[in-house]
Amino acid sequence: MGCGRVGATLATNLSQYGHSVAVIDRNPEAFRRLPEGFTGQRVTGTGFDRDALVHAGIEDAQGFAAVSSGDNSNIIAARVVRETFGVTNVVTRIYDPGRAEVYERLGIATVPTVKWAADQVFRHLIPLGPHYEFVDDSAGVALVAIDLDPDWFGRDVAGLEAATGARVAYVTRLGRGMVVDERLILQDGDEVRLIVPADRAGSVQRIANHPAKEDA
């Protein structure tokens, strides 16, 4: 919901990654922000109107982002989507940080405007990655951020590298990046980035999304 600069960018990014996208905005002129060739659906209406949501395909949706310019509209839409249509993968743009904390406790992922970027919402919507940070097309190598199954926590970097066939480029822990060696023990909350052959990024992420094998 919302086809401002952020909504248009997010919809374009999702579409380019091969996802089916519907964009809802009460102002049909807002759809001009979408690029030529955008293949997603354009729905004129509000994101908390049930008919508009159904028209946009909410009953089959895997995720919903409320990114209009109004906190109240975003929150109402998020609650309708969660409570009426059972979509749990919901991300909401919130201008008021105090309100954001309240709705985070209710299980609605929020991105306050001071931290806002379309790629942050993208990551919430597509939580199982891989999230490409850089791709060298000529070399066929990518730097990707991966999400780990909790079973990897307490295991060392060497085990992760052996299981995935990739190299850990660095780990961010408590907001600080670290270039690590194979002895580092992975912890809950670590953000792990790997250097992988670009065509194997998906398979590497699938390995990381499952419990480690005992010989890993």
Mean residue pLDDT of the chain comes to 86
Tell me what pLDDT residue 49 has.
95
> Which of 53-62, 102-111, 142-151, 176-185 has the highest average model confidence (pLDDT)?
53-62
Lowest mean pLDDT among 68-77, 81-90, 127-136, 190-199: 127-136
Q: Name the band, by pLDDT with cuts 50, 70 and 90, for residue 132.
A: confident
Torsion of the alpha carbons at 141, 144, 150 and 153, rounded to the nearest 10? 70
Model-level pTM greater than 0.75? Answer: no
Residues 6+ apart with CB under 8 A from 157: 168, 171, 180, 181, 182, 183, 184, 186
- Residue pLDDT, tens place only, 194-214: 999 988 888 888 898 889 876
CB 149 within 8 A of CB 208: yes
